[in-house]
Structure formats: C-alpha cells, structure tokens
Amino acid sequence: MAQRDARFNQTVLVDTTPMPDHIPKVEEIGATSAPLMSASYFIGDRCKAFNDDFMKCKDVANGRGEIDCLKEGRKVTRCAASVIKDINTHCLDQFKAHWECLENNNHQLWECRRAEMQLNNCVFDKLGLKKTIPGTPEGQIPVHLRPKQKYAQYPGPQW
C-alpha cells in the first residue's frame, strides 16, 4: 500500500484535524535528531520495558497495531520525554555540548567522545542511567570508552 507520505511541491497542505477526544492526549517528544541521538542510550536504559512492550504489542496486533497500541505508544513517549526532561534539568550544559557537537559532525558519534564522556558521567551521577552497547564482544573495551578513536579527525587520546 501507499507507504510513502504524500508530497506536494506547490503548497504545504496538512490535515490539521485534532485527535478525537476519546483518545488521551500526549505531548510529542519535540526533540530533533541530534538531541535524540545523544540521549538515545539513556532513553533505552530507562524505557526498555516500555519500548519492548510497545514493539511486542505492535508485533502481535496482527496489523492493527496503529490503533490498538496507542496506550503503549503514549507510555513510550512519556518515558522518553521524562528522560529528556531529567537530562535537561541536571546535565543541560553537557547535553547541549554533545548534541551540538553531533550536529556539527554529521551525527558521527566518534567525533564527539570528549563531550559524550562528560555527558555520560554527569547522567550516571545524577540520574543513574548508563550507556551500554548490547552485543559488544567479551574482553573488549566498548567503543565509546576507548580513549583513541581511529576514525576521528583527531585520532589521538580524546580526553
């Protein structure tokens, strides 16, 4: 079926009809790609249960996930929004430094290890959320903790 959004090149025409009243309202996350990428591992850490629940619901909904999983979807959005809000309250400077670095570096995480380290430490101290990459081979330092980044513009020690 039509999996592409309709595109109009002459004018921007968007159906602005609001959601019907019987569906509870939720504020959308409202963050752009760089802050989301910067916060993604913390969102994944705190919201894993909600995320898995939502994806499981979509999986078993037999094609009706869009309507049947609205409740789980709202939980996912509220949880992610809570993470972003907490980071903004406690680690705003480090968060801003990191996502602006990502924005300036084509969203390449390896260019921003210094800012990322500061953000990770701050978030771990204040919120207790930790960045872990699942599936990293045993006995290796995870790539975000390596001081040297081979592919960075400055490949030497990052901090």
Partner 1 sequence: MPQDMPPTGGYAQVQYKRNIPARGFKPAYYMIGMHVIMAYGFYKYFHGVREQRELAREKMWSRLHLTPLLQAEEDRDQVRRHYADKAREKELLGTDAKVYNSDRFIRPTFAYTPANLTQ
Binding interface with partner 1 (CB under 8 A): 1-3, 5-6, 8, 11-20, 23, 26, 28-29, 36-37, 40-41, 43-44, 47, 50-51, 54-55, 58, 62-67, 69-70, 72-74, 76-77, 80, 109-110, 133-136, 140, 142-144, 146, 149-151
Min. distance of Cβ 132 from partner 1 in angstroms? 9
What's the half-sphere exposure (Cβ side, CA atoms, 13 Å) at 43? 20
Angle of helix 70-90 relative to helix 33-46, nearest 10 degrees, comes to 110
Number of C-beta neighbours around residue 54 at 10 A: 22
Shorter beta-carbon distance to partner 1: residue 20 or 159: 20
In the complex, what is the shortest distance from the CB of residue 47 to partner 1, in angstroms, rounded to a whole number?
8
Closest distance of CB 149 from partner 1, Å = 8
87, containing H or E segment = helix 70-90
| Cα–Cα distance, 3 to 67 (Å, whole number) | 17
